[in-house]
Amino acid sequence: MQIQFTRRFSMAHRLRADRSSKCATPHGHNEFVRVTLKAKSPDTVKWGQSNYAQSFDLLKRDWHRFVDDALDHAFQLGHDDPMIGFFRAHEPDLLPRLLIISGDPTTEAVALALYYKLNAILTAHVPDFECVRFEIEETPTNSVILTPDDLIGAPRLAEWCHRPDMSLNDLLTPEQWARPKGDTCT
């Protein structure tokens, strides 16, 4: 049995590798992220009792909070984008709104980073479940889909995406992203 959740978020990014592309100019998308979860053991479902493996609320709570409170309206940049320097110098209060990864923040790369983030959140808060399918719909005609097999040999695009916190970049220390004890990403 698989359980799927969908969340919508808005974002902006620019892709610098191809300077002649219209995507080199900052622009935005309204995206959907769909995650498909599965219990790691068939015994997780309590048939004849609660008849579910876990409440939907608990399964989606931490992930949805991350999407709504951190990811929504973030500006996605590559780690060497000079715009990061602008934000450091002129708008340091907006540094937590920058999603930063190695290389261009393509939908493929951001999907990989967010898949890692979801796995970190699941491991910390709902360890009996795993993500078996992760999809970002950039536009109605373009999507990126990842499965666990796609993680084999995949690069580490940033350290933040391996932490179960609200971080979007490594400009701040993990302690600066941390929430008080007992306050999860919920």
Q: Please, which residues bridge with residue 27 across strands? A: 13
Q: Is 19 helix (H, G, I), strand (E, B) or coil?
A: coil
Residue whose tokens read 């796995």? 119
Provide the pLDDT confidence category of residue 46 given band limits of 50, 70 and 90: confident
User: d(Cα 94, Cα 26) in Å, to the nearest integer?
Assistant: 16
pTM: 0.91
Cα-only R_g, the chain = 17
Q: Tens digit of pLDDT for each residue in 94-123?
A: 999 999 999 999 999 999 999 999 999 999
Question: Is residue 55's pLDDT more than 90?
Answer: no
Write down all domains in the chain, each with its CATH number in brackets.
Answer: 2-177 (3.30.479.10)
More reliable by pLDDT, 184 or 120: 120
Predicted pLDDT at 177 = 77
**Token pair 């491991």: residue:** 123
